[in-house]
Structure 1
Amino acid sequence: MADTTAPSAGASCLERLKNYVKTPKGSILSAEILISFIIIICYGASYTGGYSTVAICEMIFAMVFFFIFMMGMDKQFLLVNWLWTDLFRAGIGAVLYLIISLITVIGGAGDGARIAGGVFGLIAGLLFTYDTYTLFMEVKSTRQHTAASTGVGV
């Protein structure tokens, strides 16, 4: 007979999701996913939808990292330095969002959806910049300073 007191795998995953979204990193990643989705909708409604590529890629990358960190896979797969990988993801996302958003806001006269996507893209660029800053501070605090060996025995 099945044990009904043990939580099911789906409930455990849902519980992990609820708990991870409440953490600072989880809330930043979920905000990145949400704003990227909003940008995809805005660029999809505009006359030129080619600018949505950055938003699609960054949303997928944020979802992958959200899942990896939520499930604790970063503690299991030690071959990858997840902190540095996430730092590069956020840094590249910040630069790309800021560049694409400035291009779309400056050249989007007459296309309201494109301008809205650009404005949301600027907000996303600031969010990714904040994520990069917090990750950089974490890298800086976890770096160990050891004395260099001079090779001279005293």
Structure 2
Amino acid sequence: MGDIEAPERNRSQEAGVRSLLPSKEFISSRKGLLLIGEVVLSFISFVCFAASTAAAFVTAPFIEFLAALVLLFAYSTKFNERFKGFHWPLMDFLRCVSASIIFFIISIISVSKYLDGASKAAGVFGFTATVLFALDFYFIFNELANFLKGGDSSEPPNTQDDDSDSD
């Protein structure tokens, strides 16, 4: 009887691990690719700032890395659908806007003020992260605007007036 329980336990453990991993559909989606890019660029920028003389700016990329990692986990495991306590798109929008502004500012400072190569590399990766975060908040803004309009662009517009008497 002990031999039968072991495979069942292994299957349940595998199912538990699989529920924590992102799905292939999400990873190949636009949002999944943007979040993965944000995580990677934030981490690279963090490492470059840590190795440079501009190490005072290391906190911003680290916080953005953690925030992007949390949202990647939340969206990929559909945690955002199970926990309705936050308005996830608005929270993601504010994260992307603040990240793009912060990365732009620290990248300008690191490229212009510091002379070592690691600071220059951190600035270049920071500018790339700025573009990626800005692209993400542009897409989120469009989705939020469509949501606030209350319409879906896939529906055909109603061309007939409600006051018409035609049958």
Corresponding residue for 2:110? 104
Partner deviation per Cα, 1:2-61 (whole Å, 9 max, x = no partner): 4487762223433x3433211110110010000111111111111231111110000000
Q: How many pairs align?
A: 144
Do the aligned residues in 1 keep the contact of 2:19 with 2:77 (CA within 8 Å)? no
Partner deviation per Cα, 1:59-118 (whole Å, 9 max, x = no partner): 000011111111111112222100100000000000000011011111122x11001101
CA RMSD of aligned residues (A): 1.9
Corresponding residue for 1:122? 127
Corresponding residue for 1:67? 73
Corresponding residue for 1:152? none
Structure 2 unaligned blocks of 5 or more: 152-167
Of 128, 135, 138, which aligns to 1:133? 138
Amino acid at match of 2:94: F
Of 31, 39, 43, which aligns to 2:45? 39
SS in structure 2 of the partner of residue 143 of structure 1: helix
Q: What fraction of aligned residue pairs are identical, expressed as a percent?
A: 29
Mapped to 1, the partners of 2:49 and 2:30 lie a distance apart of 28
Post-superposition offset of 1:132: 0.7
Structure 1 unaligned blocks of 5 or more: 147-154
SS in structure 2 of the partner of residue 121 of structure 1: helix
Q: How does 1:21-32 map to 2 (within 5 A)?
A: 21-32=27-38
Q: TM-score, normalised by structure 2?
A: 0.79
Amino acid at match of 2:15: S
Q: TM-score, normalised by structure 1?
A: 0.85
